[in-house]
Amino acid sequence: MSHCSLLCQFFISEISAGIRLQCTVCHGTARMGNKQTIFTSQQLDAYQDCTYFTRKEILRLFHRYRDLAPQLVPLDYTNEPDVRLPYELIGSMPELKDNPFRQRIAEVFSEDGQGNMTLDDFLDMFSVMSEMAPRDLKAYYAFKIYDFNNDDFICKSDLEKTLNKLTRNELTEDEVRMVCEKVIDEADLDNDGRLSLEDFQHMILRAPDFLSTFHIRI
């Protein structure tokens, strides 16, 4: 008896799963009247687990990504195509266009380190920059962004670059040097003449408006 019911249940559940499968794959947005599948529900769930976005936001971000180069990015991401958008396109987004650190941001978040981004990188970037991301995560990526030469330390040359980008080279060399010295003097705890990740976190996590300024709303 129990076997019977078990088997029946199994078949029913299989069949219903099959039916549901047909129904639930359509998680794209309806455009021009016909439904378009962009992600499977598994993909969407995975993205929701890995980012701070909701389903709607993920879809919106996808469309933002696609709008950068509609001819390159397919509308069907169910088989995870390997598409990269060049930095020139990413950097021209209105959210990044006026940011002095846009190139660094793109480089840090892109997998190849050149600023060319896949959709995953793109989502990752805006997830970290979103309001929901915690301080620690933001601090980690901020450190990476300000670490221009990728040596895991913010040294004087990095600081000079940061300052010049922030002020558009309007400070004199002496002033820049002085500010760099002051920064290192303030934040360098282990006194090796450069800021390690710990130094940076120690400093930045106390900053009153780090959280409010280090985020991009999209």
Q: Which of residues 168-207 bind another protein (CB under 8 A)?
A: 168, 170-171, 175, 178-179, 182-183, 186-187, 189-192, 200, 203-207
Q: Least CB distance from residue 153 to another protein, whole Å? A: 14
Q: Least CB distance from residue 87 to another protein, whole Å? A: 16
Q: Least CB distance from residue 207 to another protein, whole Å? A: 5
Q: Is 100 in the site for another protein (CB under 8 A)?
A: yes
Quick one: 71 or 79, whose CB is closer to another protein? Answer: 79
List binders of another protein among 5-34 (CB under 8 A). Answer: 6-7, 9-10, 12-14, 16-18, 20-21, 25
How many whole angstroms separate alpha carbon 199 and alpha carbon 84?
34
23, 33, 34, 208: which one contacts another protein (CB under 8 A)? 208
How many whole angstroms separate alpha carbon 8 and alpha carbon 16?
12
How many whole angstroms separate alpha carbon 47 and alpha carbon 179?
41
Residue whose tokens read 């359509």? 26
Instruction: State the DSSP string of 30-55.
Output: EETTEE---S-HHHHHHHHHHSS--H
Q: Is 75 in the site for another protein (CB under 8 A)?
A: no
Strands (E), the chain: 30-31, 34-35
From residue 44 to residue 63, the character string flagging contacts with another protein as x (rule: CB under 8 A) and all else as - is: -xx-xxxxx-xxxx------
Q: Least CB distance from residue 70 to another protein, whole Å? A: 21
Inter-residue long-range contacts of 45-48, CB under 8 Å, 24+ positions, other chains counted:
47/123
Contacts of 150 (CB under 8 A, 6+ apart): 113
Q: Is 142 in the site for another protein (CB under 8 A)?
A: yes
Quick one: 57 or 73, whose CB is closer to another protein? Answer: 57
Give the DSSP H/E element, type plus range, for residue 23.
Answer: helix 2-24
127, 147, 148, 194: which one contacts another protein (CB under 8 A)? 127
